[in-house]
Structure 1
Amino acid sequence: MAIDQEILEVSNMFRLLMKKASQDWNRGACKMNLTFPQFQILYSLKSRGSLKVSELADTLNLTSAAITGLTDKLCSQNYVERERATDDRRVVYVTITKEGVDAIDAVKETYREMIERLFDQLSKEDIQHLRRIFAQMLVNIDN
């Protein structure tokens, strides 16, 4: 098999893996009506406390506009609250609510089970190889 064919095959497998992982997530998290990026926002807020929209964007590698759209939905579900900074009205802080914490707790087990299924048959060495490979690919994409 030519290297170009192998790279194409790996690329297609990776895309399929991401699609199936997303479908798996949606099946398990639908009870809380949370997308994975919304879960990531809630998880970050629960772990780190109130954050600026720009800090959330940096943490999750998303744009501030994307964070705003995601938090709109989370606000409508009473999972987060937004508050403008008193010293600079352009700065918006996002804070998780009790309902948001409850949602995270309800979905966290689903997430843990999904990750365990995904990595269950991989050895510690395989996981270390994946970390190294993905880290290098991220460096490559940034250069």
Structure 2
Amino acid sequence: MLKDVHNSSAPEPSLANDPDGHLYDPGVRSSMAAFALGDDTLALEAAAAVRSASQSIDRLRAHGAGGRGLSAGALDLLTRLGNADADGLTIGSLARAAGVSSRNVTGLVDTLERENLARRVQHPDDRRSVRVTISPAGREWLDAFRLPTQRAMSAVFRGFTPEELAQFRHLCLRLVVNQQQLEQYLGGMQS
């Protein structure tokens, strides 16, 4: 049931408007009502909508990646490396910035190196410190990716006012903060 809610190969959902004029997905509502055993489904529907929106953005990003096969995580790291100074960044600092484990970042850096988009270099003053820098090919790739991405995001957010975009960003980041606080709370309970 839940796999049907988020199956990216499924046809586009048929959306409807509730009495207040807000969009909703009747299929998701029906699935969530069965899952929740008749309890309120608004938070579950909102979570499904966030996931659907995220998948839509990821599909656009993947399409814009020109078949290069970069995941959203690898693309995020490449963007961070493109903004770093010439010394690059450590695996640890990339992991902290991306909010993932160093092991995850190591795999993503391996991918970027295989694609010749980034490289590991030893820090000139500390041979134990390995840093990651963007390669010239990585910088060219980012430059070619930038304009199509800006156009795609403008199209996706067409009709949103600047205030709505700021509110949308704020609400999404509140979800992140709530998730982090919940994770800390649950981690504290396990200690």
Which residue is equivalent to 1:45?
81
Which residue is equivalent to 1:97?
135
Q: CA deviation at 1:128?
A: 2.2
Distance (whole Å) between structure 1 residues aligned to residue 126 and residue 92 of structure 2 = 16
Larger RCO (CA under 8 A, 6+ residues apart): 1
1:66 and 2:82 equivalent?
Answer: no
Query: How has the CA–CA distance of structure 1 residues 114 and 53 changed in structure 2, closer, same or farther, with 3 Å as cutoff?
Result: same
1:76 and 2:114 equivalent?
Answer: yes
Distance (whole Å) between structure 1 residues aligned to residue 73 and residue 81 of structure 2 = 12
Query: How has the CA–CA distance of structure 1 residues 138 and 33 changed in structure 2, closer, same or farther, with 3 Å as cutoff?
Result: closer
Report the TM-score when normalising by structure 1: 0.86
RMSD: 2.1
Give 1:1-143 correspondences, 5 Å limit: 4-49=40-85, 50-85=88-123, 87=126, 89=128, 91-143=129-181
Identity score, percent: 24
The answer to which structure has the higher helix fraction is: 1
Distance (whole Å) between structure 2 residues aligned to residue 107 and residue 3 of structure 1 = 45
Give CA deviations for 1:25-52 in whole Å, capped at 9, x if unaligned.
2122134332222222111111112111
Query: How has the CA–CA distance of structure 1 residues 11 and 126 changed in structure 2, closer, same or farther, with 3 Å as cutoff?
Result: same
Q: Higher Cα Rg: structure 1 or 2?
A: 2
Q: CA deviation at 1:121?
A: 1.5
Deviates more, 1:22-31 or 1:94-103: 22-31
Q: CA deviation at 1:3?
A: 8.0
Q: CA deviation at 1:142?
A: 2.0
Q: CA deviation at 1:130?
A: 1.4
Q: Match of 1:30, SS? A: coil
Distance (whole Å) between structure 2 residues aligned to residue 38 and residue 128 of structure 1 = 26
| Number of residue pairs matched by the alignment | 142
